[in-house]
Amino acid sequence: MELNGISAIVTGGASGIGEACARVLAARGAKVVIADLQDEKGNALATKIGGAFAHVDVTNPDDVIAAIELAKEMGPLRALVNSAGVGWATRTIGKDGAYDSAHDLAVFRKVIEINLIGTFNCIRLAATAMSTTEPLESGERGAIVNMASVAAFDGQIGQASYSASKGGVVGMTLPIARDLSASGIRVNTVAPGLIDTPIYGEGEASEQFKANLEKGVLFPKRLGSPEELASMVVELVANSYMNAETVRVDGGIRMPPK
């Protein structure tokens, strides 16, 4: 699928992996809507790449629809990258045997709400808009790429909510791809491994922490760059024969229990 002249939405696009995806899409000629809660960063990035910013809570249908309508003003909406998400690390039970020290159920719900339900909310609404877009010669109307994680397969101790949310994203990829095939819309998912983003912080302690993480990567022995992950995301958008697939981008890592 030719990206030049289309519009695309990247949720969580103001920083990290989402920012890298937005930059690569823009470099390929797409008009990108940065859909994020970080107004200052989102507006600054949108200005740099010739796109637009929309303040979006992915769990809020009105926010998502506003971003879609903004994208449609910039060009035919043919791409959605779902990169918004949150992480959490909490053990299932506490050490004292008290019910109150068990995993906070509200936290579990929040992670599922943002990572899984938020992703589906964006899919269902963006796909609705794509279904009314004029099809290309091949019948294709658009492509959706979701962000999962290797935690969907190799969840570590404390990652119950995160792994459940990302496992849900992987699990819904095939049925949604089958569903949307009638409208000419492809759906794929990327499962990143350890990607070097600001989430790890800065400074000597951060570098030591990352050096320890690198030991588990098969090859190359380092964290991945956001640009390497974005390259795969954009390939899944552009390659019209990629559909209903989850692709690990992880240097061959298999996460240990902790």
Residues carrying an active site annotation: 162
Which distant-in-sequence residues (6+ apart) come within 8 Å of 233 by Cβ?
21, 24, 81, 145, 147, 190
Q: Are 20 and 229 in contact (CB under 8 A)?
A: yes
CA distance 101 to 157: 16
- How many angstroms separate the CA atoms of 12 and 81, rounded? 9
Q: Which of 20, 30, 41, 24 is nearest to 83 (CA)?
A: 20
Of the candidates 232, 242, 165, 236, the one whose C-alpha atom is nearest the C-alpha of residue 195 is: 232
Residue 226 contacts residue 159 (beta carbons within 8 Å): no
